[in-house]
């Protein structure tokens, strides 16, 4: 510590550190010593302050020189590195192509995923003060358990708004419906609408571009259209003030809103005034009708947690009687609107929606694919290290230190990565539409140029460069010149082991991806082929929007259709298979004890069961002669409903009385076998069927397979004759059902693409590695051939190793894949068994592809003339 | 002909002049005494560095001294090559000046 005490009067530590970093160790003593001497001199003569100034001046005056020499020498070395890198690319074209194509494919995928994630995270963020917007939900506890709902009783919004000054604005919307819009003899269908308050447009940022911007929905019978729908109905005429008929009610168009941006979940085409919904019977304080979605915007600075506590007991204040009677508990809660797209509160806690799982799945998969590409790079670089060993040796002899060499090789990998990123951008541009189809969202390629995407791109490039370049750089720069230049350039055993591990990792990833894809294929096929409990083939559905048209004459309409011999069965109903039908509140009574139930309810006529080809377990179905009004016609239920109501057997159910809505007593006349009303993702739900002609909306026809086009013509003609002024609109039950699996189809498509990409990149790497290995073994192969090995021996010798790797990768990948898919399948009520066979399929595909890749190289090597390989010895 | 630069020339001459005591601080002070200009250390080290690489000067490590915080002085000595370079530039100077009219008395205005 002798020196330290002397240092007290010396130059500041900071300067010392700067010097230490700037100059080599040898020079440090001299420079620091000189400076110190001059500094002390200066301090003695001119004082401490002047001495400091002196030091700073010295420091600053050296900067131009440093910069100059850095640029000059740095530039010279950079030119050299760049030249060598390009020469290396050029010398080994195959490896460069393998590296860069793999990396650019991976890059393109990751960049797409970057845009995808960004897109989903940006949802609904464009609303002003979105942080202050909340949805008011309700939590109920009863003997049916705890339920959380995002929709509420309709007076809740108004009550909150009137009693709490913390609320800046509240808005309610209710009842999404499918409007039949009629304007000057034209009928427009296939859109969706909702009943809303004007304040909805003050909370949400859906700008009103024409008409009344302040109070568009204040009067009854007013309606707002989106720009697209408005121009569809009115063409170029201004829609404001025009009268249209919506579901047979005359309404005035008061405003037009801008079309929605892509990053919102709203897709409603029209908004009808809340006043039209207000006098509906069920729009009161009634815990059973919680259909209104209530938005509130809190004032700035209000703590949502505290506010939630204040409002949570509102249901108790207004529905105390009902709660007591039904032994229920109900509380309001808030959930942030900004999380609406990715999360749901339906189970009481923040739970990810499908979009979020997509974000996770895709990000994970993207990283894996890029990792496969990085591994290619690492493997090929280290495998070929011996080729660069001499260069390293010479550079070291000339005076390069390790740091410089690491820099050089890192620079080379960054060069590859940057070229790949550029190519990846081109690929992204080309494939964005294709990926968009797979994910069913509209992502614009141009979004990649936004500042945060560019930042993300840079981060990806740097990360990829580091991952793929760091190890090879250290590996390559390690060579000792003495050893290398003597000519001993064989790769070390350590490098080989690592390479094996890396290849096995690559193949493990591809095996997992393969397993996932195969299981998905299997599950989707299973769902599509599974017998639904009824016959879905050759059934055509005609939708009718003017319900009254069918209420009285559905019978004659059916007969008209059935007059054609190609149409064998016909029935009218309120719903169609594949689409959920509404719930109905029913109280059942067993031994005098009542219990509440909410089965799904379908309204249909007496031919429906025959049409679907479903069997009865007990009792009878509706009979044409015995149906009168809905309450006296009785109720047909399915097996699940019978269990739900608490009956021990179907026979017990028949003849029992249940109470619709809690008061109207109805007799159960029959129990049917269970059948799937919707897709196999969901369990078969309890279903009750009633005969209510007022609610019939569809006519379903059973077609003969012969003369389809003729029959279709007949149906269309008949339709126009029977329902003049209506647009002929039809669909097929089986097609409708297949649509239910669109989400799964999409996932399968996505995974197939990604898996193929992964396998492709991994094989590229394997191809390169095998080519190199075979090249290195040329002499060995030559000697073996001379000593009598057959071509077969040689091919087996070479491929054996790679086959081993693939098998190990499979063994590792199987349990992981099994676990992942087990989890995925849990979401489905009816699922395929994973089975043993898929593991062998994965193994066979993996082995097949890997061996094909290697075999090409192996055969080429085995067939080559040994003389060629050995003549230089 | 490959001549040394002016700053290199000045430094070589000063090293010769200083003899045994030629190290960074002294060189800088001597430059100040002779020219009246304050040179930064950086502007001394750069030519010194170049001279060392060209082997016109030789650097030797001296004893550590307390006024330098215990660090050694590094003394410079002009080598034979350095002397040769000085002789060359001196000859060149002479050549340049020969035949030039007497600038002390001449007046071009």
DSSP string, A616-627: EEEE----TTT-
Residues in A touching B66 (Cβ below 8 Å) = 6
Give the closest of B25, B66, B71 to A29, CB-based: B71
Beta partners for A594? A589
Can you give the pLDDT at residue A548? 64
**Which ranges of A588-707 does DSSP label H, i.e. alpha helix?**
608-612, 630-633, 639-645, 650-653
Size of interface A-B (CB pairs under 8 A): 68
How does pLDDT run along chain B (109 residues), one tens digit per residue? 578 888 889 999 999 988 888 888 888 889 888 888 888 888 888 888 888 888 899 888 887 777 777 778 888 989 999 999 999 999 998 988 888 887 877 776 6
Kindly compute the dihedral angle of the four CA atoms of residues B53, A83, A469, A502, in this order, to the nearest 10 degrees: -130
Using DSSP bridges, classify how beta strands A243-246 and A249-257 pair: parallel, antiparallel or unpaired: antiparallel
Helix (H) or strand (E) run with residue A293 in it: strand A292-298
Phi (first) and psi of residue A198, to 5 degrees: -60, -35
CA distance B49 to B55: 10
Query: DSSP class of residue A132?
Result: G
Distance from CA of A5 to the nearest CA of B (A): 9
Q: Which 8-state DSSP code applies to residue A587?
A: E
pLDDT of A359: 84
CA distance A595 to B19: 114
Tokens matching residue B36: 């009246």
- CA of B65 to nearest chain A CA: how many angstroms apart? 9
The 3-state DSSP class for residue A732 equals strand
Residue A36's closest CA among A68, A6, A76, A75? A6
Point out the residue among B70, B73, B74 whose CB comes nearest to the CB of A3. Answer: B70
**DSSP assignment of A499-548, as one string?**
HHHHHHHHHHHHHHHHHHHHHHHHHHHHHHHS--SS--TTEEEEE-S-TH
Residue of B nearest to A12 (CA): B69
CB A208 within 8 A of CB A201: yes
Q: In angstroms, what separates the C-alpha of A37 from chain B's closest C-alpha?
A: 5
Q: State phi, psi for B95 to the nearest 5 degrees.
A: -60, -45
Q: Contact A599/A588 with Cβ under 8 angstroms?
A: no
Of residues A575, A623, A639, A632, the one with CA closest to residue A601: A575
Cβ(A646)–Cβ(A590) below 8 Å = yes
Query: Residue A105: how many CB atoms within 10 A of its CB?
Result: 24
| 3-state SS string for A15-34 | HHHHHHHHCCHHHHHHHHHH
pLDDT at A6: 43
Half-sphere exposure of A166 (CA within 13 A, CB side): 18
d(CA A152, CA A149): 7
Residue A54 CB partners (closer than 8 Å, separation 6+): A38, A39, A42, A46
How big is the CA angle at A727 (ends A721 and A731), to the nearest 5 degrees?
100
Segment holding A168, helix H or strand E: strand A167-177
Q: Which residues, other chains included, contact B74 with Cβ-Cβ below 8 Å and sequence gap of 6+?
A: A29, A30, A33, B23, B24, B59, B60, B61, B62
For residue A273, what pLDDT is reported? Answer: 92
**Selection from A734, A691, A731 nearest residue A715 by Cα:** A731
What residues of B are in contact with residue A65 (Cβ under 8 Å)?
A: 42-43, 46
* Residues A642 and A627: beta-carbon distance below 8 Å: no
Q: Which residues of B touch A10 (CB under 8 A)?
A: 69
Structure tokens at A566: 């190609």
pLDDT along chain A (873 residues), means of 10: 45 77 73 82 84 83 79 82 88 86 90 88 87 89 77 87 90 85 80 90 90 87 91 86 86 91 87 86 75 89 89 86 81 86 71 77 87 88 80 86 85 91 94 86 84 89 90 85 71 69 90 90 88 85 70 82 86 84 80 79 88 87 77 84 87 87 84 88 87 84 83 86 76 84 84 89 87 82 86 86 90 92 86 87 89 85 80 63
**Looking at chain B, how many residues does it have?**
109
Other CB atoms within 10 A of residue A755 CB: 24
A-contacting residues in B 16-55 (Cβ below 8 Å): 23-25, 28, 40-43, 45-46
Chain A partners of B41 at a C-beta cutoff of 8 Å?
31, 34-35, 38, 58, 61-62
DSSP, res A301 = T
**What span, in angstroms and rounded, lies between the C-alpha atoms of A191 and A117?**
29
Phi-psi region of A621 (alpha: psi -120 to 50; beta: other; left: phi over 0): beta
The answer, for A765 touching chain B at a CB cutoff of 8 Å, is: no
Chain B contact present for A38, CB below 8 A: yes
Compute the distance between CA of residue A455 and CA of residue A705 in angstroms, rounded to an integer. 59
Whether A6 sits inside 8 A of B70 (CB atoms) is yes
Cα–chain-centroid distance for residue A157?
Answer: 33
Looking only at the bridges linking them, the beta strands covering A657-660 and A567-573 are: unpaired
Compute how many other C-beta atoms are within 10 angstroms of the C-beta atom of residue A357: 14
The confidence score (pLDDT) of residue A426 equals: 94
Q: Which residues in B lie closer than 8 A to residue A31 (C-beta atoms)?
A: 24, 41, 45
Asked whether A272 and A246 are in contact (CB, 8 A), the reply is: yes
The answer to whether A11 contacts B69, with C-beta atoms less than 8 Å apart, is yes
Q: How far apart are CA A625 and CA A307, in angstroms?
A: 59
Burial class (CB in 10 A: 0-12, 13-18, 19+), A267: exposed
Nearest neighbour of A65 by CB, restricted to B28, B46, B70: B46
Nearest to A271, CA basis, from A171, A186, A185, A127:
A171
pLDDT of amino acid A5: 39
Owner of token pair 């004659």: A556
State the helix-helix crossing angle for A493-529 and A354-383, rounded to 10 degrees: 150
- Residues of chain B in contact with residue A37, where contact means CB-CB under 8 angstroms, are 24-25, 65, 67-68
Tokens of A341: 């797209």
Q: In this predicted complex, what is the ipTM?
A: 0.77
Give the CA distances from residue A841 to residues A344, A509, A517, A814, in Å, rounded to whole numbers and listed in that order.
38, 16, 11, 11
Contact by Cβ (8 Å): A668, A582? no
Beta strands in A661-783 (DSSP E): 664-672, 687-690, 698-703, 730-732
Distances (CA, A) of A115 to A108, A427, A446, A749: 11, 14, 10, 19
Contact A677, A536 (CB under 8 A): no
């Amino acid at each position: 510590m002798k020196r330290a005490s002397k240092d007290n009067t010396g130059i500041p530590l900071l300067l010392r550190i700067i010097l230490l970093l700037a100059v080599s160790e040898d020079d440090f003593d001299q420079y620091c010593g000189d400076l110190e001497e001059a500094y002390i001199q200066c301090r003695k003569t001119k004082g401490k302050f002047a001495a400091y100034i002196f030091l700073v001046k010295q420091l600053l005056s050296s900067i131009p020189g440093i910069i100059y020499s850095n640029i000059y020498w740095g530039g010279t070395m950079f030119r050299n590195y760049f030249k060598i890198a390009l020469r290396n690319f050029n010398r080994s074209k195959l490896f460069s192509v393998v590296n860069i194509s793999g990396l650019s494919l991976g890059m393109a995928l990751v960049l797409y995923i970057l845009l995808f994630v960004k897109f989903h995270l940006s949802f609904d963020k464009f609303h002003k003060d979105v942080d202050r917007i909340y949805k008011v939900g309700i939590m109920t506890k009863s003997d049916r358990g705890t339920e959380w709902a995002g929709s509420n009783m309709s007076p809740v919004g108004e009550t909150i708004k009137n009693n709490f000054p913390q609320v800046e604005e509240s808005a309610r919307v209710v009842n999404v419906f499918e409007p039949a819009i009629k304007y000057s003899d034209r009928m427009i269908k296939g859109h969706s609408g909702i009943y809303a308050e004007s304040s909805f447009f003050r909370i949400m940022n859906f700008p009103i571009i024409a008409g009344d911007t302040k109070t568009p929905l204040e009067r009854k019978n007013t309606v707002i259209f989106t720009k697209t729908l408005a121009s569809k109905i009115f063409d170029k005429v201004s829609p404001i003030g025009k009268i249209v008929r919506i579901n047979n009610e005359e309404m005035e168009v008061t405003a037009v809103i801008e079309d929605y941006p892509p990053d919102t979940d709203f897709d409603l085409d029209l908004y009808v005034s809340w006043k039209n919904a207000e006098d509906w019977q069920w729009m009161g304080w009634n815990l059973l009708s919680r259909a209104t979605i209530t938005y509130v915007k809190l004032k700035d600075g209000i703590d949502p947690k505290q506010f939630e506590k204040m409002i949570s007991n509102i249901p108790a204040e207004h529905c105390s009687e009902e709660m007591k009677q039904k032994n229920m508990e109900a509380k309001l809660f808030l959930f942030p609107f900004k999380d609406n797209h990715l999360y749901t509160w339906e189970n009481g806690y923040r739970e990810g929606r499908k979009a979020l799982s997509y974000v996770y799945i895709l990000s994970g998969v993207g990283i894996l694919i890029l990792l496969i590409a990085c591994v290619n790079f690492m493997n090929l670089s280290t495998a070929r290290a011996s080729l660069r060993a001499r260069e390293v040796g010479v550079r070291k002899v000339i005076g390069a230190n390790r740091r410089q060499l690491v820099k050089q090789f890192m620079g080379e990998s960054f060069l590859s990565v940057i070229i790949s990123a550029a190519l990846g951008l081109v690929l992204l541009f080309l494939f964005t539409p294709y990926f968009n189809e797979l994910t069913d969202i509209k992502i614009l390629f141009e979004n990649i140029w936004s500042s945060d995407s560019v930042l993300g791109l840079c981060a990806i490039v740097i990360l990829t460069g580091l991952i793929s370049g760091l190890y090879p750089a250290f590996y390559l720069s390690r060579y000792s010149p003495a050893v290398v230049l003597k000519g001993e350039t064989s790769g070390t055993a350590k490098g080989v082991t690592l390479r094996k591990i890396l290849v096995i990792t690559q193949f493990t990833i591809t095996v997992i991806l393969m397993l996932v894809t195969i299981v998905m294929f299997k599950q989707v096929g299973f769902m599509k082929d599974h017998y639904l409990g009824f016959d879905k083939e050759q059934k055509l559905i005609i939708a009718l929007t003017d319900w009254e048209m069918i209420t009285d004459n559905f019978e004659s309409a059916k007969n008209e259709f059935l007059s054609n011999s190609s149409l064998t069965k016909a029935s009218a109903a309120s719903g169609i298979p594949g689409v959920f039908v509404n719930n109905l509140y029913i109280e059942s009574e067993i031994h005098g004890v009542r219990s509440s139930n909410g089965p799904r309810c379908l309204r249909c006529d007496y031919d429906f069961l025959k049409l679907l080809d479903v069997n009865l377990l007990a009792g009878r179905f509706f009979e044409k002669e015995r149906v009168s009004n809905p309450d006296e016609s009785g109720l047909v239920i399915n097996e699940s409903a019978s269990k739900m109501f608490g009956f021990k057997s179907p026979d017990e159910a028949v003849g029992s009385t249940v109470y619709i809505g809690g008061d109207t007593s109805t007799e159960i006349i029959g129990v049917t076998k269970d059948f799937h009303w919707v897709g196999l993702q969901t369990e078969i739900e309890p279903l009750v069927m009633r005969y209510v002609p007022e609610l019939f909306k569809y006519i379903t026809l059973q077609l003969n397979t012969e003369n389809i086009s003729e029959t279709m013509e007949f149906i269309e003609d008949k339709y126009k004759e029977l329902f003049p002024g209506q647009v002929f609109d039809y669909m097929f039950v089986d097609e409708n059902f297949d649509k239910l699996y669109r989400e799964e189809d999409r996932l399968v498509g996505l995974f197939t693409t990604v898996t193929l990409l992964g396998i492709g990149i991994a094989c590229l790497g394997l191809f390169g590695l095998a080519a190199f290995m075979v090249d290195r073994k040329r002499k060995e192969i030559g000697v073996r051939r001379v000593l009598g090995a057959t071509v077969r021996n040689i091919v087996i010798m070479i491929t054996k190793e790679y086959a081993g790797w693939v098998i190990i990768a499979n063994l590792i990948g199987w349990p992981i894949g099994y676990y992942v898919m087990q989890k995925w399948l849990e979401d489905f009520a009816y699922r395929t068994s994973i089975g043993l066979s898929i593991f062998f399929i994965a193994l066979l595909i993996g082995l097949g592809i890997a061996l094909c890749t290697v075999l090409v190289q192996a055969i080429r090597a085995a067939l080559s003339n040994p003389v060629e390989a050995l003549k230089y010895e | 002909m490959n001549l040394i630069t002016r700053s290199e020339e000045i430094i070589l001459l000063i090293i010769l002049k200083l003899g045994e005591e030629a190290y960074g601080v002294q060189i800088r002070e001597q430059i100040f005494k002779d020219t009246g200009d304050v040179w930064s250390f950086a502007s001394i080290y750069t030519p010194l560095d170049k001279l060392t690489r060209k082997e016109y000067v030789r650097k030797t490590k001296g004893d550590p001294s307390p006024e330098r915080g215990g660090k050694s002085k590094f003394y410079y000595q002009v080598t034979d090559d350095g002397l040769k370079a000085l002789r060359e530039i001196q000859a060149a100077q002479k050549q340049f000046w020969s035949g030039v009219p007497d600038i002390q008395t001449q007046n071009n205005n």
